[in-house]
Amino acid sequence: MEDNTRNLLVKIKQPWVLSVIFAAAIPLFPEYFAPLLAVASLMGACYDSGSLHDLKVGTLGKLMLVYIAYTAIGLLYTPNFLSTLATVTMWMTMFMVYLSITTVLKDSRRFDTALIIISAFFGITGLIGCVQYMLRISLGLKVPFQFWSFIDYPVFELIKLELKPAVERVSSTFNNPNIFSEALIMALPLVAYSSFFGKNNKYHLPCRFCLMFIAAGIAFSFSRGSYLALIAIALVFCLTNMKKIIFVLLTLISGLFLVPETVMERLFSISTGDQSISERFAIWLSSTSFIKSNPVFGIGAGVKNTWNLLLQKGIDAPHMHNLALQLLTEGGIIALVIFIIAGWKVFRSGFALIYKKPEKRETGVLLIAMVLGFAVNGFFDFPLMTPKLVGIFFMVTAVCDSILTINLGQKQSPVQNVLRLQKQIIHVSDERVAYTNYQKSNKI
């Protein structure tokens, strides 16, 4: 027993394992811990690789760096400079998570170990949400739905940032139930893969418990967009594993009997219409006028920008409740195209693994499930709003790039080469924006 514990501690102390642990721990702690965990994860990756110069960037990472550079250009014309600056800083800081994971996941062994670690942390996050719901509903205890509220409220009050009071829905370690469910949806396909297809069979059962806690956490968040995303992910795994379809269907039917009636009522209330649904329709209709006025470049990143626009329409909401509309409003067609290219790259690679490499079929299914789940959830919300969400997004993106490298031989580049190219892009773009502004001023 002591030998096993000692061996486990030795494995955990490996720099690459610590790097993954710090990244996977992001959902478990408050928002303001996310940048610190990103830095810690990068340090672990640097120790593992040897230096900062050995950090790697894959295809998806390059696209995200282009997006960050493009967002930084928005500082030249944004109506709210500080909001855009904060958003750019957030993306740049949390990109360290991507660099860390992409660099350390060099082979299949590390990949499977990383998924087990990710499953554990997200399983704990989902379990906290389940406990909150059970204690509140079953025992009637006054348990806060925001786990870190006792720390969050004093911290946000100190920095003069208003924190909205919690609604009567589970938020777990997040400040909002929708954000909580969005984070779980991004990780759900990874945990599902680890639960059934991970190479280390002895961890299948613990990972399945984590998967159950995540699914239950999504259910108790009462986020209907995430419900639909959960169903979409489940359908991908079902339809691509037809040999086990009877077992899967029996499992799903059995699971339905365990779902609380309140959850089913929340799901089917989509068709009845309520305040949140009518508000979303109002936001989506209003967004068309914002997009028409700045179709190519948008108004600049930052929820303060979109919030102010919606307030002008009498709607008190921080974002467009739709990923595509938010990207179009903030960054115009260019921002949306960058994300579409990234999503298509992952989606196409998933099919390539399924049909060209049958032995990697499950990994291809994982990629398709991640894209579809993220897209469905993004139809109803903006899953890139906070540091924790962006950090989790970069962690998932890094896992995707690692899959492409390990299984499809995708080339990775040293980060300094990519950053050098990024500086050139910013310089050329700055000159074009300045010239465009000059032309406009002359017309006036």
Return the pLDDT at 386: 93
| 265, pLDDT greater than 80 | no
308-315 average pLDDT score: 87
d(CA 220, CA 234): 18
Return the pLDDT at 277: 74
Widest CA span of the chain, in angstroms? 79
Within 259-322, where are the H helices?
A: 261-268, 275-293, 303-312
Q: Which residues of 225-243 are buried (b: 16+ CB within 10 A; e: fewer)?
A: bbbbbbebbbebbeebbee
Instruction: Note whether 163 and 175 are within 8 A (CB).
Output: yes
Tens digits of residue pLDDT in 318-347: 889 999 999 999 999 999 999 999 999 999
User: What is the length of the chain?
Assistant: 444
Return the pLDDT at 438: 47
Total structural domains within the chain: 1
Tens digits of residue pLDDT in 171-209: 999 988 999 999 999 999 999 999 988 888 889 999 999
d(CA 238, CA 368): 12
- Global pTM reads 0.88
Q: Which residue has the tokens 């680890």?
A: 194
24-49 average pLDDT score: 94
Tens digits of residue pLDDT in 208-249: 999 999 998 998 888 888 989 998 998 888 877 655 556 555
* Nearest in space to 396 (alpha carbons), one of 189, 237, 197: 189
What values do phi and psi take at 133, rounded to 5?
-65, -45
Q: Which residue has the tokens 């999503």?
A: 343
Give Cα 290 to chain centroid, integer Å: 25
Residue 371 token pair: 């894209």
Task: Please tell me which residue, 9 or 387, carries the higher pLDDT value.
Answer: 387
Instruction: Note whether 363 and 329 are within 8 A (CB).
Output: no
d(CA 84, CA 76): 10
Show the domain range for 22: 2-443
Instruction: Note whether 425 and 69 are within 8 A (CB).
Output: yes
| Strands (DSSP E) found in 373-418 | 413-414
The β-bridge partners of 57 are: 413
Q: Which residue has the tokens 């139930």?
A: 177
